[in-house]
């Protein structure tokens, strides 16, 4: 993808990093790992560190990435006549937020090494659902939102938005 806008490139970079982490989570928590998760986990283990990274990434998405897109980009999209995709992406953000509310305490406990076997099962289920939703959402943003920014933003607005995004 040839992105010329700073804002689009910053979002794209975040998407790539998120997809990399989501792939790791899917491999670690995917089918076949079940009860082994609880036995493999503990403070300081690779799995605990991965859950800490997942917790951090989900918070970044919900508190920074989504807020920026909704407040700065989706409103501009709607004003320019692209309200349908803005509504769809906002709806997906809401569903991911709901899932994050369930996932974050579990990921926190997993990172701390205090999650029991039932908790690991719940974490795996929520995390794998998050992977599915996030990958699909990111694909939509990569195919629809980022190309739209190329025409939607002028140079000055793009620079300002990119600076605002990087400041958070």
- Predicted confidence band of residue 120 (pLDDT cuts 50, 70, 90): confident
Q: What CATH number has the domain spanning 6-167?
A: 1.20.120.520
The answer to whether the beta carbons of residues 115 and 109 sit under 8 Å apart is yes
User: Does residue 79 carry a pLDDT above 80?
Assistant: yes
User: Does residue 62 carry a pLDDT above 80?
Assistant: yes
pLDDT at res. 31: 77
Q: Percentage of residues in the chain with pLDDT exceeding 90?
A: 76
User: Does residue 34 carry a pLDDT above 60?
Assistant: no
HSE (side-chain half, CA atoms, 13 Å) at 21: 22
Count how many residues are written for the chain: 168
What does residue 10 show for φ and ψ, rounded to 5 degrees? -65, -45
What does residue 4 show for φ and ψ, rounded to 5 degrees? -100, -20
User: Does residue 89 carry a pLDDT above 90?
Assistant: yes
At 157 the three-state DSSP class reads helix
Domain boundaries, the chain: 6-167
Give this prediction's pTM: 0.90
User: Does residue 33 carry a pLDDT above 70?
Assistant: no
User: Does residue 53 carry a pLDDT above 90?
Assistant: yes
pLDDT at res. 168: 78
């Amino acid at each position: 993808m040839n992105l010329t806008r700073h804002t689009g490139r910053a979002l794209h970079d975040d998407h790539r990093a998120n997809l990399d982490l989501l792939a790791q989570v899917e491999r670690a928590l995917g089918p076949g790992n079940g009860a082994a998760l609880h036995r493999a986990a503990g403070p300081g283990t690779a799995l605990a560190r991965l859950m800490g990274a997942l917790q951090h990434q989900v918070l970044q998405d919900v508190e920074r990435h989504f807020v920026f897109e909704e407040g700065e980009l989706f409103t501009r999209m709607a004003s320019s006549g692209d309200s349908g995709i803005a509504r769809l992406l906002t709806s997906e953000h809401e569903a991911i937020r709901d899932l994050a509310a369930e996932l974050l305490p579990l990921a926190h406990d997993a990172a701390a090494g205090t999650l029991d076997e039932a908790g690991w099962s719940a974490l795996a289920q929520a995390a794998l659902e998050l992977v599915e939703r996030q990958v699909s959402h990111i694909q939509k943003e990569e195919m629809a939102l980022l190309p739209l920014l190329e025409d939607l933003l002028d140079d000055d607005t793009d620079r300002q938005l990119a600076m605002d995004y990087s400041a958070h």
